[in-house]
Structure 1
Amino acid sequence: MNATFVTTLSTQELQELIESSVRNAVHLQPPRPDNEDDTLLDTKEAAVLIKYEVTSLYGLVKRKKIPFCKVEGKLLFSRKKLLAWIGSGQQAVVQ
């Protein structure tokens, strides 16, 4: 059983205690893998991400102009790959 105790802390001491606890908690978190942002999107979510109409997105899929995969007949899009696809279409800026 945990013992309960009452103590008096100054505002400064309380703030330092909280900051120390938060620092320790953050330090104990395991590192997040790079692919954590690589979520799979359905057609509507992918269209919103790349700011295309759903019908235009289907056209890109049909012409194999955009990265996608099909799982049991359902179109899925990797968020990471879509962002890379968008980035690959950027034009170089000449100054």
Structure 2
Amino acid sequence: MSENKDDGLDLLSVEEAAAYLKFSTNYIYRLAKENKIPHVNFGRRIIFRKKDLYGWIGSMVKGA
């Protein structure tokens, strides 16, 4: 029997992160290059944890 548990490793590519955030891939690359978005570099590859992106967006809410 397998358990359905969230281990926090819901990883996204640049393209998937762009779709999730409704940003262009160019904008995602720029944010990552400028270290303005939480990401991990694996060699030439950039990946994102979905929960980090969710928290990042939440931290930018104004007037809440």
Q: Could you say which TM-score interval applies, normalised by the shorter chain?
A: 0.7 to 0.9
> Percent of aligned positions with the same letter in both sequences?
30
CA distance in 2, matches of 1:41, 1:29: 23
Higher alpha-carbon Rg: 1
- 2:57 is matched with which residue? 86
* Structure 2 unaligned regions, length at least 5: none
- Number of equivalenced pairs: 64
TM-score, normalised via structure 2 length:
0.84
One-letter identity of the residue aligned with 2:62: Q
Higher strand share: 2
Higher helix share: 1
Say if 1:31 and 1:56 are closer, same or farther in 2 by CA, change over 3 A. Answer: closer
CA distance in 1, matches of 2:26, 2:20: 14
C-alpha RMSD of matched pairs (Å): 1.9
Greater RCO structure (CA 8 Å; 6+ sep)? 2
* Structure 1 unaligned regions, length at least 5: 1-27
Say if 1:71 and 1:30 are closer, same or farther in 2 by CA, change over 3 A. Answer: same
